[in-house]
Structure 1
Amino acid sequence: MLQTTITNGLEDRATPVSESLDLGSIFHQYFEIVPAFSSALKDEVYRVRHQVYCEDLKFESMRQDGLETDEHDSNSLHLLMRSVKTGEFIGCTRIVRPRPDDRHYHLPFERTCAKALDRSIIDPAELPRNRIAEVSRLAVVASYRRRKGEANSPVSLADEDSEIGKSRRFPYIPLGLYLGTTELARISGIDTLFVLTERRQAVHFSKLGVKLQIIGEAIEHRGERVPAVMNVTSIIDEMRTIFHSLYHAIAADIQRAVT
């Protein structure tokens, strides 16, 4: 039996974990996934991004309105994570979709990684444009990026997070955002998700059940990043048993918002 520590920004609580533990119920004690369909909720996404990308990490310039936005937001699906205890939004991500009426539009990674992609593995240009998308702007506010030394990354995972069976903190926040992204993509008819990520994050997420395949060489983009791909159906079908309740809890949050 292993110990998991859920961090809510104020305190840590250790909970015994086994393969049969209901991670979904524990998740809902602390967090909620909220699809950002309204203008008001999208503004909350942009506020979280501004706090992380502009104020904390200085990746983007400060904005007078406190909202970090770009040209891709208009054709994106947005997702938030909220703290049940405080009611504050603590994390976000988005799914950037192609523009069906603009054949010249490319997803951000297609431009950034144009020379780095290994098209013998997968070629985005050969896929149906309405079935692909890119995950980007994954961000967690500083008070919830848990361990010392992780304040310089928009989201954090460590080696011990993926070692089921040892004493460690369970990464509910980053994994919850990725599983929420998976479900939002599924109900939106998206088969293939691309992401530009740190190599170690790709390895960690794969060990946790979100299978990322690296599809090209590393590039310099706010540090070293590699392009990777995920298959939505495979993530769900091949998910480890221990994560089923967590996925279904998050999927229920999204489905409630959709209906």
Structure 2
Amino acid sequence: MARIKAVMSVSSNIAESVQDPVRPAPSAPEDGTGESLRRTYDRYFKVILAESDKHLDWSYRLRYQVYCLENQYESASDNANERETDEYDRQSEHALLIHRETGTVVGTTRLIMPKVNGKDLFQPIHQICPPDILAELSDRIPVSKTAEISRFAIAKEFRRRAEDKGTITGGLTNMGSDNPRRLIPHISLGLIQSIVAMAQKRGMTHIYAVMEPALLRMLRGLGIHWEKLGPVVDYHGRRQPCFCDLDQLLATTWDEHPEVWEVMTDEGRIWPLNPEKTSNGAISRV
């Protein structure tokens, strides 16, 4: 319990500092009717690209909670300052997802770049995925434009409960903000939006990931389709190496679930739709 309180204290006093000065969070509909998924996300959550030491510190502290204490994927003793860090942090973009009302850090993730200052760098996927499989796909995966998702972590008190299944919104618009665990069943979408933003910032067109098969199934249900890179591997449990062409992934999501695409791209502000990748080559729904 003390550990959880310590993590919550990371963001207990930051609510004012994370308000969006350009586009404030929209207010709830006055007539009590439902609202779009994107509008609901925008009302409750905010993505921050962690570019300051303060924001990076929040990220490292949540990673310590999730990766060292809760799951023991990494050694707590090797991160004695209660901040989980590693050698890939310097070649990564980092992001936070913030709960607007409380200022709580809901989640964090990073995107490991393939090169920094023109120098090619190693990525974890090359240790996990067989080299021959990566070689076979070299014509489809531009190495210099492919980043890797890593340290995808959600605060324990915000994770989706087992009973929060079904529709994409999961009854979100009828939930009060007094129960953060029921605030949203697919909170991962907020972190995926941050990944799209980081990729756009650094000019990345493709993404590697190593995911739990259950997460991949959930994402497919939302119209977010990844391509497999070889067989399932044992890496912090059973994981599936995979990749995507962001243009194609987002166009497919737009075809199947445009309301999810709106969240992932902030209605195209972060990553405009490529009509050539959609099923009908049109963008009439945007």
Instruction: Name the TM tier (shorter chain).
Output: 0.7 to 0.9
Per the alignment, residue 171 of structure 1 pairs with 185
Q: Tell whether the 8 Å contact from 2:141 to 2:206 is kept in structure 1 after alignment.
A: no
1:90 is aligned to 2:106: yes
User: Gaps spanning 5+ residues in structure 1: where?
Assistant: 1-14, 150-157, 255-259
Determine if the alignment matches structure 1 residue 136 to structure 2 residue 153.
no
Matches of 1:83 and 1:64, distance apart in 2: 28
Amino acid in structure 2 at the alignment position of 1:41: H
Aligned partners of 2:88, 2:62: CA distance in 1, in Å? 17
Query: Is 1:37 aligned to 2:25, yes or no?
Result: no
Q: Secondary structure at the match of 2:114?
A: coil
Q: What is the rounded CA distance, in whole Å, between the counterparts of 1:195 and 1:73 in structure 2?
A: 16
- SS of equivalent residue, structure 1 residue 143: helix
Structure 1 residue 118, shift from structure 2 partner: 6.2
For the residue of structure 2 that corresponds to 1:74, the secondary structure is helix
Q: Give the structure 1 partner of residue 264 of structure 2.
A: 247
Structure with the greater relative contact order (CA < 8 A, sep ≥ 6): 1 or 2? Answer: 1
Aligned to 1:154: none
2:129 aligns to what?
113
Deviation, structure 1 residue 28: 2.2
1:25 CA displacement: 1.6
Q: Is the 8 A contact 1:212 1:228 kept in 2?
A: yes
May I ask how many residue pairs the two structures share in their alignment? 224
Q: Could you say which structure has the higher strand fraction?
A: 1
Q: How far has the Cα of 1:250 moved from its partner?
A: 8.1
Alignment partner, residue 64 of structure 1: 80
- Residue by residue over 1:23-58, the C-alpha shift from the partner in whole angstroms, topping out at 9 and shown as x without a partner, is 122112221111101121111111110011111111
Q: Which runs of 5+ in 2 are unaligned?
A: 1-31, 173-181, 272-286
The ranges of structure 1 where at least 4 consecutive aligned residues each deviate by more than 4 angstroms after the TM superposition are 100-103, 163-170, 250-254
Distance between the aligned counterparts of 1:187 and 1:171, measured in 2?
Answer: 28
What SS class does the counterpart of residue 69 from structure 1 fall into?
Answer: coil
Aligned counterpart, 1:5:
none
Aligned counterparts, 1:121-200, within 5 A: 122-123=137-138, 127-147=141-161, 160-161=165-166, 164=168, 170-200=184-214
1:145 and 1:195, CA in 2 relative to 1: closer, same or farther beyond 3 A?
A: same
Q: CA deviation at 1:217?
A: 0.6
Q: How does 1:205-216 map to 2 (within 5 A)?
A: 205-216=219-230
The CA RMSD over aligned residues, in Å, is: 3.0
Using the size of structure 1 for normalisation, the TM-score is: 0.75
